[in-house]
A and B are shown apart, each in its own frame.
Chain A
Amino acid sequence: MPLRVFEETVLPHLDAAFNYARWLTRNDAEAEDVVQDACVRAMRFFSSLRGDDARAWLFTIVRNAWYSRISRRSTAAEPAPLGAQDQLSDDALDPEERLLQQQTVALVRTALEQLPVDFREVIVLREIEGLSYKEIAAVVDVPIGTVMSRLARGRERLMAALEPVRELEALR
């Protein structure tokens, strides 16, 4: 398998792979391991990628890599998320606005991290990665109806968790 083709096809999606893995694991080091593992697998299964969307294909492999890691662990519990590490900032905003925005981002992140992983991943794939229902169904390996109901329930929970922010945002 030509290495160059692999690098040109898969490596451009490394950010997306890492973002997804990071939301699955909620932990930087673990996400790195999952992505590395996934890339090794991706290389072995590269011949199975046939004109499909390489990004969705890579998500599937990331998810399987993550899944086999957590299945291997004796404790079924997910590791606790690490604390805040990075904050988005926008220099165009005045200090007060910026603080408000940082708080919003922190609250959104916490709310999303605290969702059960079944809901969290479909919301990340839909809202952040922009995958279609069909693509999500293929990545998560569930029927489209399940994707829809998980999205709906996840959003419901997020709405409740983000109630204070949503009120704040409405005032702005």
Chain B
Amino acid sequence: MSCERVERDLGAYVDRELDVEGSMAIRDHLGTCAACRRQAAEHEALGRLVRAAPYYSAPDRLRARVSAQTRRSTMRRILTWAAAAVLVLSAGGGIAVWRSASTGNAIADEVVNSHVRSLMANHLFDVQSTDQHTVKPWFLGKLDFSPPVADLASIGFPLVGGRLDYVGGRPVAALVYRRQNHAINVFVAPVRGDTAVRASARSVRGFHVHYWTRDGMAFWAVSDLNDAELTTFVRALGGGS
């Protein structure tokens, strides 16, 4: 192993991030090369120095603030749920995401606009990855819900990324899939209140829009893909009627 290779991997070696083979090769080299040995010692000494840096423990004041706050917001949540339940009951279950044909059309219009905008602005994703385990955590801390992310590459709809978007004035997760040259945007947000309409499909300005709900989440899939294939896609995600 050359000194250059060793120098390149020395950090990972000291951090114990090399595989067994790699780290044995470095250990062997260090046994014979004094210059590299000195470098490794310097690396380790630097680690010790940095670990002497102050560790800032959370002040008691912060601990108390956080405790009080989590208790308060739990209480608020319970009250909000209770209030929502009362409201739903009194309205006869009339609060729906897609309550009537007219709101349905308005939202369909909006998701189509978002879809078109994402294509025109060439802003399909904020996180580009075919790995659902990368896309899902990306939303962590950006949304107050965790969208289900499925990879459908096995049936010809690879996941290509995700981004934040807005539908109906609230932030939603947008998941982007591909079918040949067609992009499919799937917008996901928690269902608000009761849903009268559980699934629907329509066409808006040449785009197909499918809407469905599942496990408390509302989904809108939008694409210019032919409707037969889009329906297959929607079914694979657990939607469709």
Contact = CB atoms under 8 A, between A and B. Distances in A.
A94 interface: no
B58 A15 contact: yes
B138 interface: yes
Interface string A58-79: 0011011100000000000000
Contacts of A36: 62, 65-66, 69
Contacts of A170: 45
Contacts of A141: 127, 138
Given A47-B146, A148-B11, A162 B49 contact: yes
A35 B50 contact: no
Interface in A121-166: 123, 126-128, 132-133, 138, 141, 148, 151-152, 155, 158-159, 162, 165-166
B74 A128 contact: no
A29 to B, nearest CB: 10
Nearest to B141: A64
Given A36-B62, A47-B146, A158-B46, A31 B56 contact: yes
Contacts of A40: 69-70, 73
A27 B86 CA distance: 45
A63 B140 CA distance: 11
Interface residues of B, number: 42
B47 A166 contact: no
A43 interface: yes
- The secondary-structure label for the interface of chain A is helix
B51 interface: yes
Contacts of A38: 141
A14 B52 contact: no
A18 B12 contact: no
Contacts of A65: 141
Contacts of A31: 56
B67 A11 contact: yes
Contact of A127 (B42, B51, B54): B51
B50 A128 contact: yes
Given A35-B58, A165-B49, 6 more contacts: A35-B66, A48-B140, A88-B52, A128-B51, A133-B17, A148-B11
Interface of A: 1, 3, 6-7, 11, 14-15, 17-19, 22-23, 28, 31-32, 35-36, 38-41, 43-45, 47-48, 57, 60-61, 63-65, 86, 88, 101, 104-105, 108-109, 112, 123, 126-128, 132-133, 138, 141, 148, 151-152, 155, 158-159, 162, 165-166, 169-170
10 contacts: A3-B74, A11-B63, A18-B56, A41-B144, A48-B137, A108-B53, A138-B137, A155-B43, A166-B45, A166-B46
